[in-house]
Structure 1
Amino acid sequence: MRVISGTARGKKLKAPPGFITRPLTDRIKEALFNVLGGEIEDARLLDVFAGSGQVGIEALSRGASYVVFVEKHPAAIRTIYANLDGCRFASGFEVLGMDVFRALRILVGRGKVFDVIYVDPPFDQPEIFVQVLQALDNNRLLAERGTLVIRVPRKHALPERLAFIAQFRIDVYGESALIYYRQREREEEL
């Protein structure tokens, strides 16, 4: 794993020891950031189930103003800090070492919203995909013009529309799919 672009370009990233992780390949990560394009510069990004922190670190390298990493596993949290240090990032981020639902409650309590939200839940817990998506939607953590991306197994379907967000793109890469959501346009009241 490495940082693809930006100020930390080429820096190698560590994986959490003893973890069964599914790190993004460079191909998928590059495609993700190509789709997000200019949305990353000065963005506030939420990296949920952060693992090694590679998506949030890539965003910082490409000019994101602030990244919140959410990860509950101590070994992964240590790896995130080691990777941030290895890329020489000393500020512009926060690591919430806790369960995702607790972290979301804290972020809501602080009034946080994010321009980009990236979610990479464990593939062996399919019930959590919709739960996390609904929690993000219900708590309005996505900025008005923001993008939410969730990585799921290729054959796993997610709701096309929720209360406040709707799918606008699905990209498939081998056994993984990236599903993109944006705020639904406000419906006119009759």
Structure 2
Amino acid sequence: MARRAEVLEFAVLGLLHESPMHGYELRKRLNTALGSFRALSYGSLYPALRDLLDRDWIAEAQQAIGSSGSRRARIVYELTQTGKERFQELVDQAGPSAWEDDEFAVHLAFFARTTQEVRLRILEGRRSRLEERLAQIREVSVRNRERLDAYTTALQRHGEEQAEREVRWLEELITTERNTPHTETKE
């Protein structure tokens, strides 16, 4: 399965863990709350939903629209027990893929359902990944300083500042997490 499809699966299961939703609401929440899906189309969402239905991780339910009965019922998707188990498996993963841009955002969105140990591992891994990226940006910047035009230099500077800001933000999250008493996940 492609990386983006796996992240979409994780995000959909996580949102449905919160409450049942219809396709339009799911797409809206994916686009706004989990910024990594800004360009998500129905052409991507509905095949993903079909796959989750086929795996028995979600189920469809009919929701009546209005009292007139003239409009057809809306399909609402809800998590099954096996879907809840699959979501928990995904939430508990703290390996290198959880540190990457899109997957990190989804993990962060569902940190309330993650153990403190997993949260720390993901935050520290993300920080490490960004520090590596920052070192590469700086190295390229120094090596190519004379050959770059003003716009490319500004773009590199922007990338460096962005990475520095995120490293500082991660440091704050890690410090807060370490200073917070150990808590279990909520179901």
- Per the normalisation by structure 2, the TM-score is 0.29
Greater fraction of residues in helix? 2
State which structure, 1 or 2, has the greater radius of gyration over its C-alpha atoms.
2
- Per the normalisation by structure 1, the TM-score is 0.29
